[in-house]
């Protein structure tokens, strides 16, 4: 504590998310992302909590409607939280694209969306500190904070994938041909897939914490490890598809 400022609290609130972001940055394809630009997306994630609070204020029934715990965790929490993060992400991304003619690398969508998730987690952790005290950060920084990062990367993968044009004869499936012919439909479809995946994984994580009792920590660890491993594979897949794109 220095002159009324809780330094340790600030450290545990901000340093772990920034460290996670820096690790992803260091392992990203060279020149695919800009760390300074990432701070803007992290700020968007912080603001997204305000948007979520506004939605709850305008439509309080969204909080009290779901008596079924499964629907509450998937719809009230999963859908709404991923929705506000997407709104803030796409708002900043639209602004960025208007400021430059250089296209964002597909991996950039994973990286920047993960920072939106980390920004969201920072404010959510603040709320939990107010309710349960500072000690809650020790566990949340290695669980929920990482999970919000994973949700963002899973969502961002599909948005990034939707920006890649494959070589002419690489994909001749009916779905691939339709997506190739209809660019806007492709973006919408891939965004919906990403949104659905993020919501399902988000809901699965929360549902485990709510119902698994003694086994919840072990299952949570499995979900986190599986999520991180999947994100690494998806990041490699995006980079490979980008290298082999239609040029």
Largest CA distance in the chain: 66
Residues with Cβ within 8 Å of residue 3, at least 6 apart in sequence: none
173 lies in a domain?
A: yes
1 lies in a domain?
A: no
- Mean pLDDT of the region 116-124: 97
The pLDDT, as a whole number, for residue 5 is 72
Q: Is the pLDDT of residue 65 over 70?
A: no
14 lies in a domain?
A: yes
Q: Is the pLDDT of residue 172 over 70?
A: no
Burial category of 17 from C-beta neighbours within 10 Å (exposed 0-12, middle 13-18, buried 19 and up): buried
110 lies in a domain?
A: yes
Q: Which domain holds residue 45?
A: 7-243
Q: Is the pLDDT of residue 94 over 70?
A: yes
Residues with Cβ within 8 Å of residue 211, at least 6 apart in sequence: 69
| Total domains, the chain | 1
Q: What are phi and psi of 173, to 5 degrees?
A: -70, 160
Among all chains, which residue has been given the structure tokens 């949104």?
195
- Mean pLDDT of the region 96-124: 92
2 lies in a domain?
A: no
Say whether pTM exceeds 0.85.
Answer: yes
109 lies in a domain?
A: yes
Q: Is the pLDDT of residue 168 over 80?
A: no
The pLDDT, as a whole number, for residue 103 is 82
Q: What is the pLDDT of residues 189-229, one digit of tens each?
A: 999 999 999 999 999 999 998 888 889 999 999 999 999 99
Q: What are phi and psi of 5, to 5 degrees?
A: -105, 125
29 lies in a domain?
A: yes
Task: State the average pLDDT for the chain.
Answer: 89
DSSP designation for 105? P
3-state secondary structure of 5: strand
- Mean pLDDT of the region 136-143: 94
């Amino acid at each position: 504590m220095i002159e009324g400022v809780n330094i340790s609290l600030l450290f545990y609130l901000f340093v772990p998310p920034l460290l996670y972001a820096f690790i992803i940055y260091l392992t990203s394809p060279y020149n695919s992302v800009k760390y300074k630009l990432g701070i803007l997306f992290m700020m968007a994630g912080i603001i997204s909590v305000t948007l979520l609070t506004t939605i709850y204020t305008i439509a309080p029934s969204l909080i009290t409607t779901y008596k079924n715990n499964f629907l509450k965790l998937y719809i009230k929490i999963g859908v709404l939280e991923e929705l506000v993060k997407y709104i803030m992400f796409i708002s900043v991304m639209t602004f960025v694209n208007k400021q430059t003619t250089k296209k964002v690398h597909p991996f950039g969508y994973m990286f920047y969306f993960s920072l939106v998730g980390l920004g969201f987690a920072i404010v959510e952790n603040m709320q939990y500190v107010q309710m349960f005290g500072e000690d809650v950060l020790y566990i949340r920084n290695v669980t929920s904070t990482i999970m919000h990062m994973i949700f963002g990367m899973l969502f961002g993968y599909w948005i990034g994938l939707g920006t890649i044009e494959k070589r002419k004869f690489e994909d001749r499936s009916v779905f691939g041909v339709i997506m190739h012919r209809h660019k806007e439909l492709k973006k919408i479809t891939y965004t919906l897939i990403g949104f659905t995946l993020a919501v399902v994984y988000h809901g699965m994580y929360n549902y485990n914490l709510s119902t698994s009792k003694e086994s919840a920590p072990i299952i949570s660890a499995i979900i986190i490890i599986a999520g991180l491993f999947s994100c690494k594979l998806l990041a490699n897949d995006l980079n490979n598809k980008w290298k082999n794109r239609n040029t």
